[in-house]
Structure 1
């Protein structure tokens, strides 16, 4: 198909009033969807908002994962240690969250013995094993039944804090983080916050 034929077909579509209206509506809907995704990305992400209050100042923090939640909670608790001011935290995890689903297992064994007219005997065994994930119907949708959820293991933490120039404050932070996550003090690095 050459360019002139394509141009003629497009012109025919726009000359038809009904098709022109449909195309105009589709274009408007497309622009609205693009505007929503650009102007309000948080609406489509499904993230929870947590509002914390520290020293009479409200901090609005978006928490999307377990890792982010741990970072926010650790930051808030470290700020409450005597001698610690502003804190930035970076937590290194071994892996992501792991969920263990429930399975329904069925084992079926069939044994068949056949004897033919010549006196021959044949035995056949058949075993069927089926395993499927147990599903539950909630809120109009199906989702797997989760037996256990393993949270990610913390393997290291880096902290910058106001007041960490003091060895006592640095030790208090290291000890708190070490106790909280069950990791050795060597895996907790605390540095004074630069200006």
Structure 2
């Protein structure tokens, strides 16, 4: 079919055309190249846009358990050292357990895929991928910020709290240690204690 099409000369004479002068291997090579060119036009093209790998710092908030217990134990050990105070029990009321923010590496990748078929239909697809990895140094995550929990109230039950001067010292020490108002601290004498 292609031989007949190329065989006809525009002048009408029967002189052999350039196509006829080519051997079969060269003709096949030209047909393959043209076919590949047409296939490249039809095949969907993929274009990668905004492929970013960045070291953007963001934070992941992680809650710690038993923070209330450790804060109460710390306060108990300090309050028992006050003159006139015996055994102490502390109960804390917290709004939350606090948060720790860690450094992360963020990688954002966007791909715009444009496809067209042989009927002229076009299709655009946008793929977005966001990856966050915890930044680690020497096997431990890098801590950016640690927020202590908000203290709503403190109850201190202590031997020696019947004495108003000792009770006032317990309130003052607790309010100072936790940086809270003294009205958030209640001190009660221990049952059976002096």
| C-alpha distance in 2 between matches for 1:107 and 1:172 | 56
Query: How far did residue 127 of structure 1 move?
Result: 6.0
SS at match of 1:102: strand
1:187 to 163, 168, 184: 184
Point out where structure 1 has 5 or more consecutive residues left out of the alignment.
1-63
8 Å CA contact retained: 1:133, 1:144: no
In the other structure, the counterpart of 1:151 is 148
Query: How far did residue 135 of structure 1 move?
Result: 5.4
1:1-195 mapped onto 2 (5 Å cutoff): 65-109=66-110, 126=126, 128-134=128-134, 136=136, 145-195=142-192
8 Å CA contact retained: 1:109, 1:125: no
> Deviation string for 1:15-68 (max 9, x for gaps)?
xxxxxxxxxxxxxxxxxxxxxxxxxxxxxxxxxxxxxxxxxxxxxxxxx94332
8 Å CA contact retained: 2:171, 2:186: yes
TM-score (norm 1): 0.51
8 Å CA contact retained: 2:101, 2:145: yes
| C-alpha distance in 2 between matches for 1:97 and 1:153 | 8
| C-alpha distance in 2 between matches for 1:116 and 1:70 | 67
Point out where structure 2 has 5 or more consecutive residues left out of the alignment.
1-64
> Deviation string for 1:61-81 (max 9, x for gaps)?
xxx943322222211211122
| C-alpha distance in 1 between matches for 2:137 and 2:80 | 43
Which protein is bigger by CA-based radius of gyration? 2
SS at match of 2:176: helix
Call closer, same or farther: CA 1:74–1:124 in 2, change over 3 Å: same
TM-score (norm 2): 0.52
> Deviation string for 1:118-151 (max 9, x for gaps)?
xx9x895846241313254867xxx755433333
8 Å CA contact retained: 2:105, 2:135: no
In the other structure, the counterpart of 1:11 is none
| C-alpha distance in 1 between matches for 2:151 and 2:113 | 55
In the other structure, the counterpart of 1:26 is none
Call closer, same or farther: CA 1:87–1:131 in 2, change over 3 Å: same
Q: Of the two structures, which has the highest relative contact order with CA contacts closer than 8 Å and spacing of 6 or more?
A: 2
RMSD: 3.2
Q: Between Structure 1 and Structure 2, how many residues are aligned?
A: 128
